[in-house]
Amino acid sequence: MLLYTLLAGLLFGLYFSLIGLGLNLVFGVMRIVNLAHGDFLMLGAFLAFWLFTLFAVNPISAIPIVFALFAVVGLPLYYLLVPRLLKARDPEMLSFILFFGLSQVIEAITTIAFGTSERSIPGVQLGIVIATVKGLFVGHKVDNGPIEIFGQTFPAAWVASGVVSGLAVLFVYLYLYRTRLGYLTRAVMVNREEAIATGINVHRVSAFAFGIGLGLAAVAGVFAPFMLGSITPAMGVEVTVTSFTVIVIGSLGNPLGTVLGGLVYGISYMFMQSYYSSWANLLPYLLLIAILLVRPSGLLGRQVRRA
């Protein structure tokens, strides 16, 4: 039971890292708090659901479509909302208000369009894809049922989510540390004013970061039916709270620190579910209070810079 809970916690921890990764990237670059983050994850979940329902697109196959669509949408959305916001005296506080309103608008429109019914995707669809990939390597047909890891069996959807989440973290690392745009992004994260003084087009850099952040949230939404249960238009608020918990545990403004926060949250979540399930819903709030009291800058100890 202990080994199963630990391994499951690692799989969920990787997924929670993916949930918070885009939010922390946006905060690190722009110093704005996107309270609509969970709603974009919800929209990604609905897009994956409708691609599967209408066109029989497997969720894993839908990932490039979902990411590209939301990343492209993020570019004009950035120029529509953020530049004016950053000119304010207190952009962080105003971002709370602005994106809270955006969150309510998204939830209301989605509720009107799709209703309040819960929706989900059969987990066997991911199992078929994983079995096919494994079959290519081992040279024979593989059962598409649960997957065994260190003697413990887990749903194929959990394993697929963990793998994709790990690849997403690798993508962000390569983007930040192995590309010219990533170097510029990190320069903006360190000091926006100095980046402007050196001639960096901070709006272009920030727009790309904003688009990537929304794309990552949408990709996390693809796995929401398997990892978080059924999807509804009202799920955004709870997901946003979870995202904040993850990035506060790691460190605000450090996207890769989100991985540590996600793993801590995922393992804690699975232990709560296994041994104190009645308290599991309180976990995000308990962890937030504990971290803010003991180590306000997060476990990695990075101080949050001032604008």
Residue with tokens 């997924």: 15
Instruction: Count up the domains in the chain and report the number.
Output: 1
Tokens for 158, please give them: 């959990």
Q: Are 52 and 62 in contact (CB under 8 A)?
A: yes
| 299 within a domain of the structure (yes/no) | no
| DSSP state letters, 111-132 | HHHH-S--B---THHHHHHHHH
189-231 pLDDT, tens digit per residue, is: 989 889 999 999 999 999 999 999 999 999 999 999 989 888 9
Q: Say whether 152 sits in a helix, a strand or coil.
A: strand
| 276 within a domain of the structure (yes/no) | yes
pLDDT of residue 256: 80
CATH of residue 236: 1.10.3470
283 has pLDDT over 80: no
Tokens for 124, please give them: 């066997």
138 has pLDDT over 50: no
| CA angle (51, 55, 61) in 5-degree steps | 60
pLDDT of residue 130: 58
pLDDT of residue 141: 43
Distance CA 283, CA 62 (A): 31
174 has pLDDT over 90: yes
**Residue 147 has what DSSP assignment?**
E
Distance CA 81, CA 25 (A): 17
Burial profile 96-109: b = 16 or more Cβ within 10 angstroms, e = fewer: eebbbebbeebbee
pTM: 0.89
| H or E element in which residue 42 lies | helix 37-55
| 304 within a domain of the structure (yes/no) | no
Range of the domain at 85: 2-294
Distance CA 209, CA 108 (A): 27
Q: For residue 140, what pLDDT band results from cuts at 50, 70 and 90?
A: very low
85-113 pLDDT, tens digit per residue, is: 888 888 888 888 999 999 999 999 999 99
The mean per-residue pLDDT over the stretch 140-164 comes to 77
307 has pLDDT over 60: no
